């Protein structure tokens, strides 16, 4: 999570240097991205990974629905911030970049607090091991979604041109 945050921070801090000129169109709903990446919906992946028993299904689905419902405003705000960057990256000045970066950081902090609240609930419902597995999988979905979006956002040409691709321990220039 820290690495992704650092990537976002570097990306937003450096945007004032030089940017591409066309916004990218991409799926923005987490469920669509998860389906595209994993080939299954989130609920099916959770059920399979956590091995929810028939006795636990109702309580788990209720807790999951509550969690996803509370998570929606957070996700909508994050997507809105990313959409704002995607649509306005050529005209973002220092003040806007500062504000956008702070908003992204605050958004990530809110999400961490939400996870902490629901970890206690999932711990009571599933036990410590499966609650940890739940949040491991949820974090994996979150990181995969962020990575998918990040890979589809316009990136600064200067940084992209200087990037090196490593293949079998040999740097290969991406130019």
Is residue 145 included in any domain, yes or no? yes
User: Is there a domain that residue 61 lies in?
Assistant: yes
pLDDT in the model for residue 36 = 82
Q: Work out how many domains the chain is built from and give that number.
A: 1
**Is 18 part of any domain?**
no
Residue 28 φ then ψ, to 5°: -115, -10
Structural domain includes residue 63: yes
Of 150, 154, 138, the closest CA to residue 42 belongs to 138
**Residue, of 89 and 140, whose pLDDT is higher:** 140
Residue 143 has pLDDT above 90, yes or no: no
For residue 21, what pLDDT is reported? Answer: 42
Whether 82 is covered by a domain: the verdict is: yes
Distance, CA of 142 to CA of 160 (rounded, Å): 24
User: Looking at the domain assignment, is residue 148 inside a domain?
Assistant: yes
Q: Which of 36-40, 46-50, 126-130, 152-156: highest mean pLDDT?
A: 126-130
- What angle in degrees, to the nearest 10, is found between the helix axes of 94-126 and 128-152? 150
Strands (E) located in 19-167: 164-167
pLDDT at res. 167: 45
Domain assignment of residue 75, yes or no: yes
Of the listed ranges 22-31, 84-93, 121-130, the least confidently predicted one is 22-31
Q: Do the beta carbons of residue 4 and residue 143 sit within 8 Å?
A: yes
Residue 58, in any domain of the structure: yes
Mean pLDDT, residues 19-39? 63
Interval 101-109 mean pLDDT: 89
Q: Which domain holds residue 115?
A: 2-13+23-173
Range in 20-24, 33-37, 110-114, 144-148 with the lowest mean pLDDT:
20-24
pLDDT exceeds cutoff 50 at 81:
yes
Least confident of 8-12, 33-37, 92-96, 116-120: 8-12
Distance CA 135, CA 124 (A): 14
What's the average model confidence in pLDDT over 23-33? 60
User: Encoding tokens for residue 127?
Assistant: 């036990």
3-state class (DSSP) for residue 37: helix
Q: What pLDDT does 35 receive?
A: 85
């Amino acid at each position: 999570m820290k690495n992704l945050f650092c990537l976002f921070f570097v990306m937003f801090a450096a945007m004032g240097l030089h940017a591409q000129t066309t916004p990218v169109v991409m799926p923005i709903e987490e469920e669509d991205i998860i389906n595209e990446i994993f080939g299954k919906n989130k609920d099916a992946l959770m059920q399979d990974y956590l091995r929810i028993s028939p006795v636990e299904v109702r309580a788990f689905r209720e807790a999951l629905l509550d969690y996803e419902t509370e998570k929606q405003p957070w996700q909508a705000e994050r997507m809105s911030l990313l959409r704002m960057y995607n649509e306005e990256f050529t005209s973002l000045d220092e003040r806007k970049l500062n504000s956008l970066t702070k908003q992204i950081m605050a958004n990530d902090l809110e999400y961490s607090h939400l996870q902490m609240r629901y970890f206690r609930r999932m711990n009571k419902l599933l036990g410590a091991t499966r609650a940890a597995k739940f949040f491991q999988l949820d974090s994996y979905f979150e990181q995969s979604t962020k990575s998918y979006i990040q890979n589809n956002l316009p990136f600064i040409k200067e940084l992209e041109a200087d990037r090196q691709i490593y293949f079998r321990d040999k740097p290969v220039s991406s130019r």
